[in-house]
Amino acid sequence: MKFSIIFAQIILSRLYKMNKLLLTGFIFLAFACAKNDNIIQIGDYVEGQAKGSCKVASNTRINGSRIGFSYKDGKLEGLTGFPDFDTFEYNGSLISAASNSRDKSYKVNFTYNDNNQISEIIFDGRDSQGRLFKHTSLLVYNKDNRIQELILDLPVFEDKLSTFLEYDNNGNVKKISAKVYGELQPLLENISFDDKRSPYLNQKIGPILTYFMIYALVQGGENLSYYLNQNNVTQSTVYSNNEKIEFGYQYEYNANGYPIKTDISQNKNNRLKSLNEYFDYLCE
């Protein structure tokens, strides 16, 4: 399958200029050059974990940008290195909102369905001209309670984008597609997986970041499906900007079976590239 030129043109046409950057800052960070050593563990021990389980403390991306996760009293308290938001609000055990401590002009609110699954991700605030905006992305679930459809509505898009997720028998994201002019166009195919634990397995932050997973895939050709996966992808193909990009992944694991280092091979137009990604955890 080939990524459609029409789809690439439509995605580009959906972008418009904004003085206030809510999402593009992280894309810039994800491709900035930096050393990827000095992985630092963040946060307190998380109570109530199943024996042998871990929660991600940091994720150093392929070219050096780093997201840190801090916890307090068993709850995710904040992020570092992610410009959309860094602080969370809770309604009981559920994250109800996220805000940016450096920019009070907007907030991201989360609503839930009867199964305590996120059903809406809402960017709500004012732009640099003082005009109100509200962008609501909708999440639809399948019979196995996994995200089946994400209707993406973000401040950097003029129009909504309907995307669809398919899973394998183990609950891993097998395919992500987008609907363009009534036809499905492929964005991602995860071809194979290992039998180890994904870094974001069973963590509340995973579903919250699904909007960014799709955005990063569309805009930068990044495979962040580990936000939802049960295991770790070992081979995948990304279709981005009329290009087919093939990836291979090899992992080093900690004693609990979570990846701590990923060696990534990339083949783009027969140009080979090697990349690395690192994870640090808080483990029981």
Residue 138 · residue 150 · CB < 8 Å: yes
pLDDT tens, residue by residue, 95-124 = 999 999 999 899 999 999 999 999 999 999
pLDDT tens, residue by residue, 71-102 = 998 899 999 999 799 999 999 999 999 999 99
What are 267's two structure tokens? 């083949």
Please state the pTM of the whole predicted model. Answer: 0.81
Question: Coil, helix or strand for 216?
Answer: helix
pLDDT tens, residue by residue, 139-171 = 999 999 999 999 999 877 778 899 999 999 999
Cα separation, 193 vs 159, in Å, equals 34
Average pLDDT over residues 17-24: 38
* Residue (of 7, 17, 273, 278) closest to 161 by Cα position: 7
Question: Coil, helix or strand for 178?
Answer: strand
Question: Coil, helix or strand for 180?
Answer: strand
| % of the chain beyond a pLDDT of 70 | 81
β-pair partners for 9? none
pLDDT tens, residue by residue, 168-196 = 999 999 999 999 888 899 999 999 999 99
Residue 40 has pLDDT above 60, yes or no: no
What's the CA angle centered on 186, arms 182 and 191, to 5 degrees?
150
Q: What single DSSP character describes residue 32?
A: S
What are 177's two structure tokens? 């597609």
Residue 232 · residue 260 · CB < 8 Å: no
Q: Which amino acid is at 196?
A: K
* Residue (of 50, 66, 46) closest to 58 by Cα position: 66
